[in-house]
Amino acid sequence: MRKLISPAIAGRPRLSPGAQALRFWHRHKWSYFFVAPSMILFSVFIFYPVLQAFVLAFQKVDLRGGKWVGLKNFVDVFASPLFRASMQHTLLYALFVVLAWITTSMIVAALIQPLSNKVQALFRGAFYLPNVTSVIIISLVWIWIFEPDYGFFNYLLSLVGIPRVLWLQNPDIALWSIVLSTVLIVPGSGVVLYSAAIGSIPRDYYEAAEVEGASWAAKLIHITFPLLKPTTLYLSVIYTIAGFQIFERVYIMTGGGPINSTMTIVQLVFQTAFSDFNYGRASAEALILFAIIAIFSFIQFKFLSTDVEY
């Protein structure tokens, strides 16, 4: 079968690759001028530091210079008991925080959904307010709440005759105290996104289920949860990344102590680089953290990704 070609196209001379590139540039050059500032900032402050960290991870680097050592930094990192402990602390923190944030965000969003639009907007703003507050300020407030002598939590315990608790000074519970201070704050971003996602689910699905005699729990399990999977995937990935990158809260509240009981990977990277001045090993620890986050994100995409559209 002969391929039909428009006479206008057939009579047009074929441009060389160089001429095509020049025509493309003249047509779209202003678009590149507009995105150039962002690309320059991204290259200077993100891409180049990441590339430099990758190079430093294979070198022994200190204040005097560096030399190539291959995989020695990675071997030393995996052999370090402190790194393994930091990995365990970070995994525990991320696991409990992600599960708690996803659950509380979904519950709060479901509770405010039957309310009027104005009341929903009020609750969304109230829950989102801590997101625009500095983590340092929030951490300082929690230091006062956990204070052994005049803290708010110990004051509540004293009302029922329970002895005071060393929330941040006891190595056995210091990490769990930090986890508690995190999960008690319902993430506003999750509430807003889940609320919008629930509101966009067509009511026809629920009406059809009611006609079939489906219970409230059945509608929740078979309609709401599956249609919220795209939002759950996004929030799970974002919260997992935030959980693994926990630093400010630990740095302000405990500094990694007592006895390294709250040391996390990012805290360890900071200490290795700016206290021990071992930049090669710190870069290796950062690359391992990057690999761990990538693996967890891949697993989440594998099990939570969906082609549902509504």
pLDDT tens-digit readout, 175-231: 999 999 999 888 888 998 998 888 888 888 888 888 888 887 888 888 888 888 889
* Residue 57 in tokens: 């991870």
The answer to whether the CB of 293 falls within 8 A of the CB of 78 is no
The per-residue pLDDT for range 114-139, each reduced to its tens digit, is 888 888 888 888 888 878 888 889 99
- Burial (Cβ within 10 Å: 0-12, 13-18, ≥19) of residue 10: exposed
In this predicted structure, the answer to whether residue 31 has a pLDDT above a threshold of 90 is: no
- Structural domains for the chain: 73-133+188-304 (1.10.3720.10)
Closest CA to 279 of 44, 47, 52, 86: 52
pLDDT of residue 63: 67
Angstrom distance (rounded) from CA 244 to CA 237: 11
* Residue 309 in tokens: 């559209």
- Rounded mean pLDDT of the chain? 86
Q: What global pTM score does this model have?
A: 0.84
The per-residue pLDDT for range 185-196, each reduced to its tens digit, is 888 889 989 988
Angstrom distance (rounded) from CA 256 to CA 85: 11
Tell me the Cα Rg of the chain. 27
Closest CA to 170 of 49, 261, 298: 261
In this predicted structure, the answer to whether residue 3 has a pLDDT above a threshold of 80 is: no
Residue 6 has a CB neighbour count (10 Å cut-off) of 8
- The percent of residues in the chain predicted with pLDDT above 90, rounded, is 41
